[in-house]
Structure 1
Amino acid sequence: MHGPFLSLLWMSSCALLCAVLAGCAGNAPTPRGEVKGAATTPAELAQSDMNRVATLAMHENLEGLFRLMDKLYRRNPAEWRKTSATSRDHAAEQVRTAILQRQPWAPLQGRRDIAAMGFALAPEFAGDRVAAFIHATADMIITAHGGKTEFFLLDGIDAQHLYNAARNVESAVWLLAQRRNAQGQPLLLADEIGPHGRNLSFEREFGKVIARLDLLAALTTEKYRRAAISYVQGIVGGTFLQFLPVR
């Protein structure tokens, strides 16, 4: 009797173990990609660690704006149709090229930086508002970095300008959510909280841009603060931390 009972117990235990393992496998985290470093280039020999951080942050901020442009065009298809572009992707590529090549955007009528941002978010602006807003915001961020998108040993960045740029993006996000046209509709459809669900992806993407700007501003300030401290430490160390004779 013990033999059949033990066999049944063994089979039940195996079945339970298999069920547990299957459950664990089913609850395994879904892969979400992995961190990938950029390929090393000869230009990096002329970059300090801080230069490299600033370059990567700029690249990610611009890519974030391009993602926002695509999302805004998807929610506001009437905007790109105001232009001569043949498709949403075509319109986005034109804006991207203008930003990366530091070309002015004609509908902004010669305005750059914060003046362009204000005009792009004005109710009376009649052109492609998505293109104007993204181009103006990118131009403001690049201007805050001294007009550069890559940084090398002789380049300097003003921490206060970066901090101001972060606050400008915050203001733009607020205006985007609050301003209405003559018909009482949002200038651009972005985040949405309604009976059919919540879409806060725009806020998250803008938040990443703001966080990078703030972090780089803090790192830049810390860089100069630590340089001063290191200088004092060198003077103190040269006076008090000398080797003493032992014979």
Structure 2
Amino acid sequence: MEHSRPTLLMESDPMVRVRHHRTLVLLSLTALLLGGCANSGDPRPFQLKNLAKTEIDMVTDLHIQTVNRLARELTIKLYKRNPRELAKVPGMTVVQRLDVLFGTPRLITHAELNNLYAEKAVPLAFDPAFEGDRVFALMVGITGMLHASYDYRNEFYLLNELNQQKLYNSARNLEAVAWRLNTYRHADGDPFLFANSTTNLSFERLLGKMIAHQDMMANIVSDATNRTINTVVHGIASTTLLPI
């Protein structure tokens, strides 16, 4: 009887029972999902690494994938409207630019941009003295701000944390970028980059979607962590961008 008593005590401990139940559920779920992976028709196969993700981690991953997809689309559209920018670098192609912008691991230094990245690269696209590829400068700025707002990660796990202020700041900076695309011009009146027109506002829509996603993630993180967002007024016409 003395040997069986500890077992009975463990079984009567509610915390032990809860942990035991959670383990069984997790193992059952793992077996079920792994079994589902055998079906070749499953478009999103289960991966063991997902067991180390919270619901917020998975939502974050989806947001990262979405804003990256929107940024890729924006890059392609800008090069179509501004082919002269790509031609500034002999032999350069849009595919090569996309590989650099979205490759893994992500490059955060570019000699042709004086190694500027994220919000620090954006001003080059609207600098009259800059003779390089303005589309590349702008997209290194945009993709860099998005990348920095997710702590330079492409995936999130249990111990990774997000900063709601960085997400919020990136959204405000994207608003400023949209304003600059429509407003900043050369001395002769031509825009630095051709984007929106009266009949085509797709660039503005893409940026608007990115802004919405960043604001949504900022609010999700703020609610989950009970940390407030500093919503200090920062006009879109400001000459400086918020730090990320």
Question: What TM-score comes out, normalization by structure 1 length?
Answer: 0.70
Question: Quick one: distance in 2 between partners of 1:102 and 1:88?
Answer: 16
1:171 maps to 176
2:157 maps to 152
Q: CA offsets, 1:19-66, max 9 Å, x none? A: xxxxxxxxxxxxxxxxx9744322211111101111111111111111
Q: CA offsets, 1:103-161, max 9 Å, x none? A: 42222102122111122332322111111111121111211222212111101111111
Consecutive unaligned residues of structure 2, counting only runs of 5 or more, are 1-41, 228-244
SS where residue 192 of structure 1 aligns?
coil
Structural mapping, 1:130-149, within 5 Å: 130-149=135-154
Q: From the superposition, tell whether residues 103 and 127 of structure 1 become closer, same or farther in structure 2 (CA, over 3 Å).
A: same
Q: CA offsets, 1:181-228, max 9 Å, x none? A: 2322001111111xxxx11111111111000000000111111239xx
2:82 maps to 76
Please say if residues 100 and 106 of structure 2, whose CA atoms lie closer than 8 Å, have aligned partners that are also in contact. no
Bigger share in helix: 1
Structural mapping, 1:80-119, within 5 Å: 80-97=86-103, 101-119=106-124
User: Is structure 2 residue 205 aligned with structure 1 residue 204?
Assistant: yes
Q: From the superposition, tell whether residues 112 and 94 of structure 1 become closer, same or farther in structure 2 (CA, over 3 Å).
A: closer
Question: Quick one: distance in 2 between partners of 1:91 and 1:225?
Answer: 39
Q: From the superposition, tell whether residues 144 and 74 of structure 1 become closer, same or farther in structure 2 (CA, over 3 Å).
A: same
Bigger CA radius of gyration: 1
Number of corresponding residues: 186
Q: Hey, which bits of structure 1, 4+ residues long, moved more than 4 A?
A: none
Question: Quick one: distance in 2 between partners of 1:218 and 1:175?
Answer: 26
Structural mapping, 1:32-43, within 5 Å: 38-43=44-49
Consecutive unaligned residues of structure 1, counting only runs of 5 or more, are 1-35, 227-247
1:245 maps to none
Question: Quick one: distance in 2 between partners of 1:49 and 1:84?
Answer: 46
Please say if residues 92 and 131 of structure 1, whose CA atoms lie closer than 8 Å, have aligned partners that are also in contact. no
2:129 alignment partner AA:
E
Question: Quick one: distance in 2 between partners of 1:184 and 1:153?
Answer: 51
1:15 maps to none
User: Is structure 2 residue 63 aligned with structure 1 residue 62?
Assistant: no
2:127 alignment partner AA:
A
Q: CA offsets, 1:65-111, max 9 Å, x none? A: 110010011111111111133544344434433x7523422221021
Please say if residues 101 and 107 of structure 2, whose CA atoms lie closer than 8 Å, have aligned partners that are also in contact. no
Please say if residues 83 and 128 of structure 1, whose CA atoms lie closer than 8 Å, have aligned partners that are also in contact. yes
2:212 alignment partner AA:
A
Please say if residues 80 and 91 of structure 1, whose CA atoms lie closer than 8 Å, have aligned partners that are also in contact. no
**Identical-pair percentage:** 31
Please say if residues 47 and 151 of structure 1, whose CA atoms lie closer than 8 Å, have aligned partners that are also in contact. yes
Question: What TM-score comes out, normalization by structure 2 length?
Answer: 0.70
Question: Quick one: distance in 2 between partners of 1:40 and 1:84?
Answer: 43
Question: Quick one: distance in 2 between partners of 1:209 and 1:37?
Answer: 25
